[in-house]
Amino acid sequence: MSRVKFNCEYSFRASPTIVYEFLTSPDCLARWFCDDCAMNEESYTFSWEGSAEVAYILEDIEEEYLSLQWEEYPTEYLEFKIYKGEITGQTVLEITAFCDDYEVRQEKNFWTTQMNNMKHAMGL
């Protein structure tokens, strides 16, 4: 099985500042993405049901961009781009991630669920 890259886009009726905070703050991440999150200058440690995964920070541009590299998959990354949509004026979050080639639909559904959880955590 091979790993493939995929993209998803989601719109938010929230400022880029708020979206960025929910992607980078351990307290906010624990509200929609994982059970617990710890962070240092170089990485995040995400915990789910007693299991932990480390993601190294590759690049972080406040309110615009975050790129993480999973320790388990050193040739892959998780990327978040934040920008204002030209037509709607809403904040757009573009996600780039990787998965097994037969899991793309499932992974996109996963991110849709996660984004709905994030919107709910934001009060949207």
CA distance 92 to 2: 29
Amino acid 121: pLDDT: 95
For each of the domains in the chain, give its residue range(s) and CATH number, in order of start.
3-122 (3.30.530.20)
Per-residue pLDDT tens over the stretch 36-47: 999 999 999 999
Q: Where are the alpha helices (DSSP H) in 1-124?
A: 16-24, 26-32, 104-122
Amino acid 50: pLDDT: 86
CA distance 9 to 112: 9
pTM: 0.90
Per-residue pLDDT tens over the stretch 94-115: 999 999 999 999 999 999 999 9
Whether residue 22 contacts residue 120, with contact meaning beta carbons closer than 8 Å, is answered with no
Q: DSSP state, 63?
A: T
Q: Which residues contact 91 (CB under 8 A, 6 or more apart)?
A: 11, 12, 13, 14, 15, 16, 18, 19, 82, 83, 84, 85
27: helix, coil or strand? helix
Residue for token pair 């509200």? 31
CA distance 90 to 34: 26
